[in-house]
Amino acid sequence: MTDVKRFCIIGAGACGLAVVKTFAERGIPFDCFEAEGDLGGIWNPGSPHAVYGSTHLNSSKKLSRYPDFKFPDEMPYYVSAAQAHEYLRAYAAEYGIYDRITFNTRVSAIERADKGWRVTLEGESEPRIYDGVVVANGHHWHPYTPDYPGTFAGEMLHSHDVKSKGQLKDKRVLVVGAGNSAAIFATRPKTARPSTRCAAPITSSPRCCSASRPTRSSTVSVICRLPRHFMYSLYKLGMWVLIGSHERYGLPKPDHDLFEAHPTACTTYLDHIVHGRIVPKPGITRFEGKRVFFRDEEETSEEVDLLVWATGYRVHFPFMDDSYVLDENGWPKLFIHTFHREWDDFFVCGLFEPAEGGVWQIADYQARLIAAFITAQEEDPKRAAWFRELKRHANPDIGHGLKHQDTPWHRFEIQHLRFRRYMKRLLKKFGPCAPPEQEMRTMGETAEEREAEKLKLAS
């Protein structure tokens, strides 16, 4: 680049790693700061925001992986949290990322300056000046808990703070929520009661479908290529045949259709209900000591030892003004969840929710698109001007066309294949400014093995 600029990357989780790798390959100078002692974000077991210990990815490893780095063949279709972290560490080692990250360093504040950004690190009195920032700190870490009348005298935890079965053992547990986390936690203890004020549609399909292919991999590669209205009709018919009405399970009828908001996907939740291992309860009305009262005709109640709030997260940025990303109602105001509409030096990676999974794959395309725009600003003013105008006004169809507008998780929902295709088209339009497609590498594969594979393919 003719005028060398330096960028600040905040976070070295799965999405931040994609940005670090892409910037390094493109020769874009940067500093990456990670608050914890290792990379991986919520997949790092040493992080206070780590996922529940027995968590597995909801999407298959084919859909979950980065586009240029395979999971090893011996890993299962749906990898565990420990395997996911192992994969991210191998990815970082393969591409020489570790030495490019400053660990145990928290960004305490960023502020837009006359030229560039002032970035303050915890423990440093003077801010550092950067030409641009990439925010990749994640959004599954700031718990949201609702308010109810009365005072609960038992123990309360957000699902974010539940890390093992031991925390639930030998306790009467009430799990509040209707999403994936609520369904998973409700199946853990023997005395659980899931409480749902309004139920989400539940998809309880098996993890593998025909020919032993992963269900979500098949769904994205086949069903999502069909016309949207036909795809939805076909999927709803299948779920009706497999599940039937929610009332049969003692669950409230969903107040929206299957594809009007993110569904709940748990293969064991309904199985536990029909076997009597968990008993669903309606929404909460109030607390009295350890007794919880529910919203039904008899206003039934239960004595509860532990209340688990599986009520999701609020998108929040403790180091900056949330209005950089969100409007006054909490909706994202970025172009394709990535680019600020007016500023050309502020980017976000990973702030989206694909119902099909595959976050890391999408983040890789985001990283390449960010790098393409930064490069174009320096090397191709014409292409930079084209994209600048596009991001200021365009609102492309990258979602599911959902109608249910009042759920927090819906605000960031995208459809994996549609979003990925759109970004690929933009990368193509950037021409030589865009990072080239990378060769696929296998975890643990050596450079000599990759060269031998190239020769084999060539012959």
CATH number, span 7-141+314-454? 3.50.50.60
β-sheet bridge partners, residue 346: 133
Q: What is the mean pLDDT of residues 61-80?
A: 93
Mean pLDDT of the chain: 82
Tens of pLDDT, residues 335-349: 999 999 999 999 999
Tell me: pLDDT of 223 over 60: no
245 vs 300: which has the higher pLDDT = 300
Q: Give the pLDDT of residue 10.
A: 98
pLDDT digits (tens, 9 = 90+) for 156-203: 998 888 887 788 888 888 888 766 665 565 555 554 555 555 455 555
**Alpha-carbon distances, residue 99 vs 21, 31, 63, 158, 401 (angstroms):** 11, 11, 28, 35, 42
Per-residue CA distances from 117 to 9, 45, 67, 136, 320 (Å):
12, 32, 31, 16, 11
pLDDT at residue 415, as a whole number: 85
Least confident window among 218-222, 282-286, 449-453: 218-222
**Would you state the pLDDT for residue 218?**
47
Alpha-carbon gap, residue 51 to 141, rounded angstroms: 10
pLDDT at position 184 is 62
User: Does the pLDDT at position 356 exceed 80?
Assistant: no
Mean pLDDT of 360-367: 96
Mean pLDDT of 264-274: 65
Q: What is the pLDDT of residue 355?
A: 73
Q: Which stretch, 245-249, 371-375, 399-403, 432-436, has highest mean pLDDT? A: 371-375
Q: Considering only CA atoms, which of 141, 193, 185 is closest in space to residue 310?
A: 185
Cα–Cα dist 117/132, whole Å: 6
**The pLDDT of residue 242 is above 80:** no
pLDDT at 233: 73
Is the pLDDT at 204 greater than 70? The verdict is no
In terms of C-beta density within 10 A (0-12 exposed, 13-18 middle, 19 or more buried), how is residue 455 classed? exposed
Q: What is the pLDDT of residue 94?
A: 95
Residue closest to 22 by CA, chosen among 379, 373, 307 = 373
Instruction: Give the pLDDT of residue 237.
Output: 73
**Mean pLDDT computed over 77-91:** 95
Spell out the domain ranges in the chain. Answer: 7-141+314-454, 155-204+243-309
What predicted TM-score, i.e. pTM, was given to this entire model?
0.83
Using the predicted structure, report yes or no on whether residue 350 has a pLDDT greater than 50.
yes
Band the pLDDT of 265: cuts 50, 70, 90: low
Q: What is the mean pLDDT of residues 252-258?
A: 63
What per-residue confidence (pLDDT) applies to 449? 59
Q: What is the pLDDT of residues 392-426, one digit of tens each?
A: 999 998 876 555 555 555 678 888 888 999 999 99
How confident is the model over 35-65, as pLDDT tens digits?
Answer: 999 999 999 999 999 988 888 887 889 999 9
Residue 330 in this model has a pLDDT that exceeds 90: no
Residue pair 1/379 in contact (Cβ under 8 Å)? The answer is yes
The class level of CATH for 155-204+243-309 reads alpha beta
Instruction: Give the model's pLDDT for residue 226.
Output: 62
Q: Give the mean pLDDT of 10-20.
A: 97
Q: Is the pLDDT of residue 220 over 60?
A: no
Confidence at residue 111, expressed as pLDDT on a 0 to 100 scale: 96
Query: What is the per-residue pLDDT for 15?
Result: 97
Neighbours of 305 (CB within 10 A): 14
According to the model, what pLDDT value does residue 2 have? Answer: 41
Which has the higher per-residue pLDDT, 22 or 159? Answer: 22
Give the pLDDT of residue 408: 59
What are the phi and psi torsion angles at 257 (to 5°)? -75, 170
Residue 66 has pLDDT above 50, yes or no: yes
pLDDT of residue 57: 86
CB count within 10 Å of CB 46 equals 10
Instruction: Kindly tell me if the per-residue pLDDT of 137 is higher than 60.
Output: yes
